Amino acid sequence: MLTPGDVVELDLGAPAGSKAGMTRPAVVVTAARVLRGGPHVVQVIPLTRTIRDSGAEVVIEPDEHNGLSDTSAAQCQHIRTVSTARVSDHLGTIGPSALGQVRDTLAALLDV
């Protein structure tokens, strides 16, 4: 079962314009209460190794828990709803601190 903050490998398909695409890691941001229901779709934030000085991205360093091999940026401006069938692997978890930063950035982007 997926949990908030999980780092998963998924196929986002061919990118259109500046959207994130291809097979890449992403962070699950769907609420735990929703995930407990076994949804067929989840909300994810794609990760990229391209680090930009952007208020819309959160830098995540690789560690023994998240399964990342490179410093990555959570592209909060590219939040996506994807089918759970697109998830091909569970890499790890970013932990509560980084998940809080991602959620705070999402809240600022969405003005909520």
The confidence score (pLDDT) of residue 53 equals 86
CATH code assigned at 94 = 2.30.30.110
pLDDT at 108: 96
Q: Give residue for tokens 């089918």.
A: 83
Q: How many domains does the chain have?
A: 1
Tell whether 1 is covered by a domain. Answer: no
Question: Would you say 90 and 66 are in contact if contact means Cβ atoms under 8 Å apart?
Answer: no
Domain of 42 in residue numbering reads as: 6-110
Give the model's pLDDT for residue 18.
62
**pLDDT tens for each residue of the chain, 112 residues long:** 899 999 999 987 776 666 565 789 999 999 999 999 999 999 999 999 999 988 999 999 999 999 999 999 999 999 999 999 999 999 999 999 999 999 999 999 999 9
Q: Is 107 helix (H, G, I), strand (E, B) or coil?
A: helix
